[in-house]
Chains A and B, each alone.
Chain A
Amino acid sequence: MLRTRAQFLTRTIARSYATSAGPHALVFLEHRDGVIDAGCLSALSAAKELGGEVTGIVVGGPEQLKEVIPKAQKLEGLSALLHSSSAQYASPIPETISPLLEKILSNLAFTHVVAAHSSSAKSLIPRVAAKLDVPAISDVTSVEHNNAENATTFTRPIYAGNAIATVRAPSSIPIKFFTVRSTAFKAAGTDGPEAKSSEVESVEVTDPPTQHIRTEITKSDRPDLGVASRVVSGGRALKNAETFKATLEPLADVLGAAIGASRAAVDAGYADNSLQVGQTGKVVAPELYMALGISGAIQHLAGMKDSKLIVAINKDADAPIFQVADLGLVADLYDAVPELVQKLKP
């Protein structure tokens, strides 16, 4: 394996001198239980905005791919699809997927590598970029490629979204890696013309240093927090896990909303970690975001302030959440929420 890696590296160096003809992006497509992750659909839209060809890549166990490849081929905007299967890819671990991507990127002339800013891509993309000796740009909210200069300009939020940086990856960066904030790009359609697919031979890692033991997904019948068009979120004021459920669930049900939580509520054990909205949790931008008993700390606002309509219910009229809320109601949420549920019911 060592020998082949040395070979990849020489090729990368050789290729960076070649002139490129327009951008060609490789989009990393993630999937779970046969379904392509919604975040990747936004990453695909961002890749299209570069203005060149877009090739997708999907990796997984042989059985998983049988189901996923036909769906991936029909993603709108894909000009080609690469797929690679191996038992090693069944649970995505950067240590085993990274060598495959290095091989592909060293042999084929891609100018950009695009992925969602998801937990698995956040783990994988910087590792691969470092191996190819290029920087990566995280969580971008806009993309613009200048073909003549072979430079790409991005915007990305920094300081928990309190500032927006405009950065430029110049032509001296031969492959531009970036992850995409899904709420900033429309999801690509899933019913396009069938893209041509071709198989890439897997790169088997002998004796991988990491073993996947298990994955535990929090089951929920509600819409997924990351992509829901409505979110009802609770904070520390919900007192405990029981009142959190009893207060938020009826409202979420009547609105068809996902449930979210502030870090305070998660840390206090009222809600599961996966529901956290904020700088260190999920970033959401739904049509409606209802903040119940959430004061509105900077870290929380970072995760929801791009929502279309923010509604806040809080007892404290001075809570910072009211500075960003379009509709604020100063009230005890234990009175207001049940009344709201009652009166909203058709």
Chain B
Amino acid sequence: MRPTASRLLNILVPIKRTIDYAVKIRVNPDQKGVDLNVKHSMAVEEAVRLREKLKDAVKSIKVVTIGPPKSAETLRTALAMGADSGVHVEIPDSAPPPEPLGVAKALRAVIERQKEGVDLVILGKQAIDDDSSQTGQMLAGLLGWPQATFASKLVVDIAKKEASVTREIDGGLEELRCRLPLIVTTDLRLNEPRYASLPNIMKAKKKPIEKITPSDLGVDLTPRVETLKVAEPPKRVGGGKVENVDELIAKLKEAGITAV
């Protein structure tokens, strides 16, 4: 039996092109920012897994990114992983990186443009560049939707339009039941992202990407918090080695550390 139209799930996955996590970043000598010409990384895995689990009940998986022209590559990677279509909110290379509130407003506008609506938005819990961990929560606030942050397990009940989510919290776990439409932000433990296969990479080239600008969405992405400078953190004077355990204990004692 085919599910009725109202019970089909439309998923939106906002992604961000960032520096590769394994790259040691360098601060610009003028302290205005960070050198950025490296690989990107991101995750779309959960939406694709939901489709694998829920089969036809997932009607669409759309990925959206807000960023300079190069971010299109990030969208293609997500399409190769199994998303159906992409939206690229393009900003010039010279534009300052938008802050989470601006991104959340743009995402709200993207969601409002979707004719069939959006039932589930899945975002990462934080971008590894600005480490803010705000966008998902802000989007939930703007839309007045429930939010399940730092999710390590997500089970969607399409018939009830509900999701059961296990969250990582300080000191343990928390389980919530949330009504759809819902914003989920993913913890690292949610899944292990797949690699895109070569045939899928080829197929992804034919999938549609809609290109729009912030002004099409009626949002202003100018940051309201000013970045005054970006500096290197103070260097540690590490590198001291000891020969054996006795020497280690002697040095610990010197530093005032003894058994309790």
Contacts and interface: CB of A to CB of B under 8 A. Distances in A.
A51 interface: no
Nearest to A214: B175
A120 B27 CA distance: 32
Contacts of B170: 118-120, 226, 274, 282
Interface string B32-72: 00100000000000000000000000000000000000000
B25 interface: yes
Contacts of A280: 125-126, 187-188
A69 interface: no
B178 interface: yes
B228 interface: yes
B128 A159 contact: yes
Contacts of B226: 167-170
B78 to A, nearest CB: 21
Given A159-B19, A322-B239, A210 B131 contact: no
Nearest to A132: B141
B147 A160 contact: no
Contact of A330 (B152, B237, B238, B241): B241
Contacts of A327: 240-242, 248, 251-252
A67 B168 CA distance: 27
A63 interface: no
Interface string A144-177: 0000000001001111111111111110110000
Contacts of B132: 136, 138
A254 interface: yes
A123 B176 CA distance: 14
B224 A135 contact: yes
B25 A123 contact: no
Nearest to A313: B248
A6 B170 CA distance: 34
A166 B227 contact: yes
Contact of A322 (B238, B249, B260): B238
A273 B189 contact: yes
Interface stretch (B96-104, B112-120, B197-205, B207-215): B96-104
Interface on chain B toward A: helix, strand, loop, or mixed SS? mixed
Contacts of A326: 236-238, 240
Interface stretch (A10-18, A42-50, A90-98, A239-247): A90-98
A24 interface: no
Contact of A165 (B227, B240, B244): B227
A213 B148 CA distance: 13
B230 interface: yes
Contacts, number: 260
B101 A119 contact: no
Given A256-B260, A344-B258, A122 B232 contact: no
A329 B150 contact: no
B141 A160 contact: no
B195 interface: no
Contacts of A309: 255, 257
A345 B225 contact: no
Interface string B1-34: 0000000000000000001011011010000001
A49 B103 CA distance: 30
B229 A166 contact: yes
A138 B133 contact: yes
A327 B251 CA distance: 8
A168 B228 contact: yes
Given A216-B174, A327-B251, A346 B259 contact: yes
A172 B245 contact: no
Given A310-B238, A325-B239, A166 B231 contact: yes
19 contacts: A118-B170, A119-B149, A119-B169, A120-B170, A123-B137, A135-B225, A136-B100, A162-B24, A169-B225, A173-B225, A209-B182, A213-B175, A215-B173, A288-B257, A310-B238, A323-B239, A325-B240, A329-B245, A340-B249
Interface of A: 32, 93-95, 98, 118-120, 122-131, 133-139, 153, 156-170, 172-173, 208-218, 224, 226, 230, 254-256, 263, 267, 273-274, 279-280, 282, 287-288, 298-299, 305, 309-311, 322-331, 336, 339-340, 343-346
Given A170-B226, A280-B187, 13 more contacts: A123-B149, A126-B141, A130-B101, A159-B19, A163-B230, A168-B228, A210-B176, A211-B177, A213-B177, A322-B238, A323-B236, A327-B240, A327-B242
